[in-house]
Each structure stands twice: as C-alpha cells, then as structure tokens.
C-alpha cells in the first residue's frame, strides 16, 4: 500500500489490541507455552503488526517469517502461500497472512492447510482486500502497479455480519463503487481517465450503479465468479474455522486509495 502503510499498521494494531482486550487470547499463549510459535506468511520483514503480536505472545515467542520471494529479506524463509504442504501439522500457535490474501488461488486448499498447520486453540489472523488502490471495483480485476493489466489478485472474504457490524465502512466504499470519482478508471485502474469522460462524470452523465449493503454480497460473488476468482463465504470458512473477531476499515478518507480491508481472527474447529 506504500504511503498507506502507516494507516494500515495503525488500524491492524488497534483492532488486535481491542481483540486482546476482549479475549486475552494472545497473552494466554505465554502462560500456556514456554515458547509460543508465531508463523508469518507473505512476510519479508517484521512490521509493527507482527511486532505487536509477538510482544503480546510474550518475550519467549519464536517468530518465523515466510515469503515467496525471500531474496534480500532479513531472516525470511522461502514459502509460497499456495503450496503449504511442506509445513508440518500443528506447527504454530498463531499463523498470520496480512496484505496478501488476494493471492490465494485455491481457497479450499489454503484453508485446509492453515487448519492443519495451526495448533489446537491456536489463532489465524488474516486481512482481506475489497477494492483496489486506484479503483473501487468488486472483481479485483486490475492492479495499478501493473497499469491496469491482468493481475494475480484472486480471492477475498466477506460475510453478512461483517457488513452489519461495519456498515459505515462498507457504505463509504459502495458509494464509490456506485459513482467513482471522475479521475478513477474502473476499467483500467491506474490509467488516466480522458478529460471528456471526466467532464461527463462531473456532470452526472457517466455510468452509475445502484449497489446497496443488501445486494453487496451477491454482486461481489457474481463479479468475482465471472472473472474466475473467489469469494470465501461462511459456508466454506466454517468447514475449518470459526470467525471469533471481525474488523473493517475503508482507507479512502485517509489516503485517497479505494482499499477496503477486512480483518478476521480465526479459531480452528474440531482440533
């Protein structure tokens, strides 16, 4: 997210602080384990969020970073999030995947492996992206880093409770999906909008939608499916995990980027 990093880290640490205040789950690891284990997927380096989780787990927490491209990263081990079979069963107390869940190519396989990897009574912490930095879209079809060209962004998550609990965040995003700012190119995110089209939009003549909170999940599901991508929903999530904490933040008011991020803290079922 670049310039959004500071805001993203502050949101995540604030949300996890609230979760810990309600549950004390991270502190429980330092009471119950002599050396609790934190595994961080898609993490080339420690950031403020991972540091916060490690501190909450106690000074004896063992932290391992995994990334698909560890070259040049300090202490990161080679690991593709879409090929987790080499990681051992019950290997960690806490597993994180932050700012990379959209790269999941096979949600069922990923959730199965995450369930297998985390220990009984452990936690999985994942954030999920809706929208893109330069465009308020539902199907993750473009990425401004690639000039709006096809992107590997594949997967996100949403549920009705998330929309209910954080309706203000979703409504702010939906307003931009329905009527994007004149400069936002929803067809080719990151590519400059022609002046004539910007003028049309400013005059209220551009394309508009009528998406609502009620229709959001169905629209997101349909648009991702048409693009060959995936919306993880409760029916598939609950085969392996219970969502025990939710949070959401729409970053546009802070940095003028159309990133709506959802945070889930998951507990494995049946272990």
Considering only the C-alpha atoms of the chain, give the largest distance between any 2 of them, rounded to a whole number of Å.
65
The answer to whether the beta carbons of residues 151 and 161 sit under 8 Å apart is no
pLDDT in tens, the chain (271 residues): 455 699 999 999 999 999 999 999 999 999 988 899 999 999 999 999 999 999 999 999 999 999 998 766 567 899 999 999 999 999 999 999 999 999 999 999 999 999 999 999 999 999 999 999 999 999 998 665 555 555 679 999 999 999 999 999 999 999 999 999 988 888 888 888 888 787 777 777 777 899 999 999 999 999 999 999 999 999 999 999 999 999 999 999 999 999 999 999 999 999 9
Cβ atoms within 10 Å, residue 84:
18
The answer to whether the beta carbons of residues 13 and 49 sit under 8 Å apart is yes
Residue ranges of domains in the chain: 2-268
Spatial distance between the Cα atoms of 238 and 268, rounded to a whole number of angstroms: 9
**In DSSP terms, which residues pair with 40 in a beta bridge?**
65, 96
Spatial distance between the Cα atoms of 224 and 240, rounded to a whole number of angstroms: 22
Spatial distance between the Cα atoms of 129 and 102, rounded to a whole number of angstroms: 7
Tokens for 191?
């590519």
The answer to whether the beta carbons of residues 34 and 60 sit under 8 Å apart is yes
Tokens for 15?
């949300």
* Residue position matching structure tokens 């310039």: 3
- Which residues fall within 8 angstroms of residue 77, CB to CB, at 6 or more apart? 64, 65, 66, 67, 70
* pTM for the predicted model, two decimal places: 0.94
* Mean pLDDT for the chain overall: 92
Question: Measuring CA to CA, which residue among 49, 77, 55 is closest to residue 65?
Answer: 77
Spatial distance between the Cα atoms of 88 and 130, rounded to a whole number of angstroms: 31
Question: Measuring CA to CA, which residue among 202, 32, 1 is closest to residue 123?
Answer: 32
Over residues 206-238, the pLDDT tens digits come to 778 999 999 999 999 999 999 999 999 999 999
**In DSSP terms, which residues pair with 266 in a beta bridge?**
124, 243
Instruction: Specify the CATH number of the domain 2-268.
Output: 3.40.50
């Amino acid at each position: 997210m670049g310039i959004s990093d500071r805001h993203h880290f502050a949101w995540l640490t604030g949300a996890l602080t609230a979760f810990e205040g309600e549950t004390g789950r991270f502190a429980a690891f330092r009471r119950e384990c002599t050396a609790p284990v934190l595994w961080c997927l898609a993490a080339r380096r420690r950031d403020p969020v991972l540091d916060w989780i490690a501190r909450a787990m106690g000074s004896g927490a063992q932290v391992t970073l995994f990334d698909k491209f560890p070259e040049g990263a300090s202490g990161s081990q080679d690991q593709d999030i879409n090929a987790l079979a080499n990681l051992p069963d019950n290997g960690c107390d806490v597993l994180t995947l932050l700012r990379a869940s959209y790269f999941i190519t096979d949600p069922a396989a990923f959730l199965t492996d995450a369930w297998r990897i985390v220990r009984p009574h452990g936690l999985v912490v994942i954030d999920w992206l809706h929208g893109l930095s330069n465009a308020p879209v539902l199907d993750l079809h473009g990425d401004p880093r690639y000039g709006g060209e096809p992107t590997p962004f594949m997967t996100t998550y949403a549920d009705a409770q998330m929309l209910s609990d954080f309706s203000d965040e979703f409504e702010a995003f939906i307003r931009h999906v329905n009527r994007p700012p004149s400069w936002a190119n929803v067809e080719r995110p990151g590519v400059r909008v022609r002046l004539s089209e910007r003028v049309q939009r400013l005059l209220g003549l551009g394309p508009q939608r009528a998406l609502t909170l009620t229709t959001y999940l169905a629209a997101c599901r349909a648009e991702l499916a048409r693009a060959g991508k995936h919306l993880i929903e409760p029916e598939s999530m609950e085969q392996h995990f219970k969502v025990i904490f939710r949070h959401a933040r729409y970053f546009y008011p802070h940095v003028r980027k159309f990133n709506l991020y959802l945070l889930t803290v998951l507990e494995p079922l049946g272990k």
